[in-house]
Amino acid sequence: MRGVPREEYLYPGHAACAGCSASLALRLTLKALGRKTIMVVPACCTSIIQGPFPKSAVAVPLMNIMFEAAAACAAGIAAGLEARGIEDVTVLAWAGDGGTYDIGLQALSGAAERGDNLLYICYNNQAYMNTGIQRSGATPYGARTTTTPVLGKKEHQKNMPLIMMAHGIPYVATATPAYPQDLIRKVRKAASVKGTRYIEILCPCPPGWRYPAEKTIEVSRLAVKTCAFPLWECYWEDGHQVVRLTGPSRLIAEVPELKLPIEPYVAIQGRFSGISKADIRALQEWVDASWRRLVEMAKA
């Protein structure tokens, strides 16, 4: 594929589920960053995917850390590299939404406030998948999990990319493995600047979202085309934050008729089974309002 390096830093035979987009996202991310990368991984699916000690499916140095401490640990490693005068290594905190939106938010916010030199990537599968599919702050309205089993979640998800943008950090972006060139470009762009950088990668989960494993890319694309998960980036230019839509999201902003309704995205996922028409309308209204806000930000 054009623009995707051939080198592999995530080896085959790892422990990911069939159709796991988190493993695909990690594979693409490491292709973008290359061998001079140090990973920090809190408790999450990747703790299993990487393989049990003393073997590993990941071909770069990797440190497993407590659930709440990914950004703090990455900040410490970055400080150590700086003290030794090493400037060509990327410190990558790679965490799920549970360790980002909820349990690890304090450490991430602190790192952003200090401007620690690290790249933080949240691979967002919208629940605590590794521990049994419990709802998280990233779980969308109406989705059923093991802790919201009857009526589905009744709160809308947080918008972590905007929360990180509000910290004024050098770079914020969203991506999905369904658009690999867009993902790789953003990871490389983030690696080219210093300070705290944040990328959120939507990673649909077949067992957690309850769809056939071979539908992962289709589900990812629907998330973008319905604007449930728009693709965008934010960076500083001439002293101002610039928001730029990318990929299909940019086209949808130019031609609004290309935006799909939320129904096909919801219908393909078993976690939304039994959702009422009123809840679908509420979810659509939230998606539409969030999209309008993002488009206005991109026009500013």
d(CA 272, CA 125): 15
**Is the separation of the CB atoms in 90 and 78 below 8 Å?**
no
pLDDT of amino acid 40: 98
pLDDT of amino acid 179: 97
User: In which order are the strands placed within the sheet that holds 240-245?
Assistant: 62-64, 37-41, 90-96, 118-124, 196-202, 171-175, 232-237, 240-245
Residue 118: strand pairing partners: 196
Tens place of pLDDT for every residue, the chain, 300 residues?
Answer: 777 889 999 999 899 999 999 999 999 999 999 999 999 999 999 999 998 888 899 999 999 999 999 999 999 999 999 999 999 999 999 999 999 999 999 999 999 999 999 999 999 999 999 999 999 999 999 999 999 999 999 999 999 999 999 999 999 999 999 999 999 999 999 999 999 999 999 999 999 999 999 999 999 999 999 999 999 999 999 999 999 999 999 999 999 999 999 999 999 999 999 999 999 999 999 999 999 999 999 998
- In this structure, the strands spanning 62-64 and 232-237 are unpaired
d(CA 255, CA 264): 20
**Is the separation of the CB atoms in 70 and 62 below 8 Å?**
no
Residue 195: CB atoms within 10 Å? 18
Region of residue 56 (left: phi > 0; alpha: psi -120 to 50; beta: else): beta
**Is the separation of the CB atoms in 177 and 21 below 8 Å?**
yes
Q: Where are the alpha helices (DSSP H) in 34-117?
A: 45-49, 70-83, 105-114
pLDDT of amino acid 106: 97
Exposure b/e, 112-146, CB count within 10 A at least 16 = b:
beeebbbbbbbbbbbbbbbeebbbbbbbbbbbbbe
**Is the separation of the CB atoms in 38 and 94 below 8 Å?**
no
d(CA 104, CA 75): 13
Residue 184: strand pairing partners: none
Using alpha carbons, select from 94, 151, 139, 90 the residue that is nearest to residue 273: 151
Residue 124: strand pairing partners: 202
pLDDT of amino acid 54: 84
d(CA 37, CA 54): 19
d(CA 16, CA 24): 10
d(CA 73, CA 172): 20
Name the phi and psi angles at 182, rounded to 5. -65, -45
pLDDT of amino acid 2: 77
d(CA 74, CA 153): 32
